[in-house]
Amino acid sequence: MSPSDTVRAFIAAWEARSIDAILALMTPDARYLNVGLPEAVGHEAIRAMLTPFLAGATAVRWTVRHLAETADGAVLTERVDVFEMGPRTVTIPVMGVFEFSDGKIAAWRDYFDVPAFQRQLA
């Protein structure tokens, strides 16, 4: 599977709200950073960060506007992430970067407007 295919599978795992499928596509020591928030390192820390968020979502949709793979295999995504959270819909324009090791995601960084995201959750 190419890095771009892995990111597409990763997005599908998010849309299925499957934390196990998400983590299966990441290295055991993967680093996950929403820039502006604390970083999570390793499956257990990433699971602890994502589980409460996914548990509160009744639906997840990521619309990829652009996906590009660099010569060294990093994948860049411009996307809009939508989370149905009970009576509210949270919409987040995101720029994401995925780096790989041995065919799995070793680093994932998302760049977005954190305060705007937090206002939608309030």
Output the domain CATH number for residue 52: 3.10.450.50
Catalytic residue among 20, 29, 102, 110: 110
What is the predicted pLDDT for the residue at 2?
A: 95
Domain count, the chain: 1
Q: How far is CA 38 from CA 31, 32, 41, 110, in A?
A: 11, 9, 10, 12
pLDDT at 53: 84
Whether residue 97 is predicted with pLDDT greater than 90 in this model: the reply is yes
Q: Which residue carries 């795992």 as its tokens?
A: 13
Residue 36, pLDDT score:
86
CB 112 within 8 Å of CB 34: yes
Catalytic-residue membership of 81: yes
Is 113 marked active-site? no
- The rounded mean pLDDT for the chain is 95
Whole domain around residue 19: which residue ranges?
A: 3-121
State the DSSP H helix or E strand holding residue 18, giving kind and residue range, or none if neither.
none
